[in-house]
Structure 1
Amino acid sequence: MNYKNFPMVPRVIFGRGSFNQINDVLAPKRKSINAPFIFLIDDVFRGNPWLTSRIELAYDDKIIFIPTKEEPKTEQIDTLVEEIILQAKERPSGIIGIGGGTVLDIAKAVAIMITNSGEAKDYQGWDLVKNPAIYHVGIPTISGTGAEVSRTTVLTGPEKKLGINSDFTPFDQVILDSELTKDVPKEQWFYTGMDCYIHCIESLTGTFLNEFSKSYGEKAFELCKQIFLDDTLSKRDSQEKLMMASWHGGMSIAYSQVGVAHALSYGLAFLLGIKHGIGNCIVFDHLEDFYPEGVALFKKMKAKHDIELPQGICANLSDNDFNTMIKVALGLEPLWENALGKNWQNIATPERLRSLYEKM
């Protein structure tokens, strides 16, 4: 058997207020006065000096605010890379992503594409990246996606929604400061937190399960139950626990895989542009046949936090639309094999996927 030799994030700072160490972390990594640091920051922080004033820009360093209303696209990566390369006198010293899963995935993809020729869509898949990325740092401002720890960067391309999965994708440095998550709106907090919860359910019930992924998945699952069902937790404790649940949830799929919910939500995102967290929730709500206990607990959490999911999003779709979503979803073979085993194609038929999408 050929065991995966996968990389982990080599350096992590954890602690409330640790974002204040950003300048000390970056200083020794500067290659020259002509090699800037590029900060990709979630647009929600535009005009918010509470965060940006703590970043000491020097020489040609630059902040680029990233809109996050839509999922990241391959063409967006290509545009950013071109802009950075044209404006910098030398190859940048590093890319720093500050935001949610969208911004973190964009930062990872940009860091890869600065050193690899062609377009981002050419690298959607598994282990297609040839050259190491430039130095890149991830600083999450919302918890749940696991993007801060994963070896993938999920992108919507012209033909598919699929990550750049490679050994060069993970960040070189991560800063986990739960204070940065303090202003996340309730719905967003729930949807992104449920992304972590669904990671746990899919890895813990999958056929790829092993003791490595199980140990991380079980810890993340326990944390999610505390965060979303325990009334005695303080807001601060909840923020810190969700930050660690996200980390462990991301690690739980590093040596296994996600499953049915993620595969189907990729279809929704590709066709309808539905964001990852809420897309997972919409799908997972209908997956009792695959994850009976996990869905029952999800519905309990949803009721407790008074979350109303969108209904009827597939009501007016054409046969063509359904076929597009089904094609995208079924293209994610490792996810289906993890969820259903080697004979997954006998269970996840186009007809069955169509009937699931029709319920949403």
Structure 2
Amino acid sequence: MNFRNFPMVPRVVFGRGSFDQLDEIISPKRKSDNAPFIFLVDDIFKDTGLEKKIPLKHNDKIIFVNSDTEPKTFQVDTLRDTIVQEFGALPSGVLGIGGGTLMDLAKAVAIMLANPGSSADYQGWDLVNKPALYHVGIPTISGTGAEVSRTTVLTGPEKKLGINSDYTPFDQVVLDPDLCTGVPRNQWFYTGMDCFIHCIESLTGTYLNAFSQSYGEKALELCHEVFLNGALSEEESRDKLMMASWHGGMSIAYSQVGVAHAMSYGLSYLLGTRHGVGNCIVFDQLEEFYPEGVKNFKQMTDRYEIEIPRGLCGALSDAEFDTMINVSMGMVPLWENAMGKDWKKVITPGKLRSMYEKM
């Protein structure tokens, strides 16, 4: 039997205000004064205090990225080409500052600066041949687990699928809960629910093992503290949700996600639905598969008065349903985790269509 030998993030700093140590952390990785660090930063931070704290030196460059849509393969390729054309030589490293979109872009660009072709060529499992450039993740919202995962989820011309490889994880992560201050409530909720759903799918899956269970149980406990128990200060909530995101990401790293994510990929590919929102739209309808998790989810949506979007699929054509269904059914490891090798006996195109029609 072959056991998975997967890479973990080798260095992580956690603590309020730890972003102030960034210069100290990355300086030893600078190749030369002419090899810049590239900072990919969510454009919501343009002209803010965070931008002013980014430790630029020499010809380091900030590239602001709009995160209203999820990362695309052509976007990764364009960023790579822009960096190469401007600087000629390879940079010292790539840093992503923002939410899951910026985490995934930073990982993907670091890979593509070291590998030929298009990022679409690497959508799948273990297709990357050369180590990525040094890359650092600095999340400013918690829940996706992108800061710790070995994948970077991209929408390509033919599919929405991650670059899953041993070279994808960050070399360094900076977890500063202060960076999550002021996140809008809906965004905080939807992204936090991504973590909660990770835990439910991992802990109820056929891939479950003691490693993924230990992380998943801790992440779920932290999610309950943040979203159900309600006795935390804002600072405690930010600290604990950041740790929940980390542990939830670690849980699925050694197992898998399940039905909600498999179906959410279909929504996202066809309709552009954001990942956290899409997971919530799907999970809200999954009592058949996750009765206890959906019960708790509905309690949390009621508590925070979150209106889950409905009616997305009401006017779709047969061809559009088929596209969504094909994308979803292509997520084989997710379905296998959810219900085993014989999942196709339960999940047919007709079954999926009837489920999507409720959303």
What is the TM-score with the length of structure 1 in the denominator? Answer: 0.99
Letter in 1 for 2:47: G
Residues 1-360 of structure 1 aligned to structure 2 (within 5 Å): 1-48=1-48, 50-360=49-359
- Give the number of aligned pairs: 359
Q: Which runs of 5+ in 2 are unaligned?
A: none
* SS class of match (2:313): coil
Is contact 1:141-1:181 (8 Å) kept? yes
Q: Deviations over 1:277-297 (max 9, x none)?
A: 000000000000010110010
* SS class of match (2:39): strand
Deviation of 1:130 after TM superposition, in Å, equals 0.2
In 1, the alpha carbon distance for the partners of 2:196 and 2:324 equals 24
* SS class of match (1:359): coil
Deviation of 1:178 after TM superposition, in Å, equals 0.2
Q: CA RMSD in A?
A: 0.5
Deviation of 1:229 after TM superposition, in Å, equals 1.1
In 2, the alpha carbon distance for the partners of 1:72 and 1:201 equals 25
Q: Deviations over 1:315-340 (max 9, x none)?
A: 10000000000000000100000001
* SS class of match (2:296): helix
Identity across matched positions, percent: 67
Deviation of 1:347 after TM superposition, in Å, equals 0.7
Deviation of 1:54 after TM superposition, in Å, equals 1.3
Deviation of 1:231 after TM superposition, in Å, equals 2.2
What is the TM-score with the length of structure 2 in the denominator? Answer: 0.99
Q: Which runs of 5+ in 1 are unaligned?
A: none
Deviation of 1:34 after TM superposition, in Å, equals 1.2
Is contact 1:34-1:89 (8 Å) kept? no
Deviation of 1:46 after TM superposition, in Å, equals 1.0
Is contact 1:60-1:88 (8 Å) kept? no
Q: Which portions of structure 1, spanning 4 or more consecutive aligned residues, are displaced by more than 2 angstroms? A: none
Is contact 1:35-1:89 (8 Å) kept? no
* SS class of match (2:253): coil
Q: Deviations over 1:46-75 (max 9, x none)?
A: 111x11111221221100011001010000
Q: Deviations over 1:147-185 (max 9, x none)?
A: 000000000001100000000000000000000001100
Deviation of 1:230 after TM superposition, in Å, equals 1.6
Letter in 2 for 1:315: G
In 1, the alpha carbon distance for the partners of 2:332 and 2:212 equals 19
In 2, the alpha carbon distance for the partners of 1:285 and 1:56 equals 43
Deviation of 1:89 after TM superposition, in Å, equals 3.6
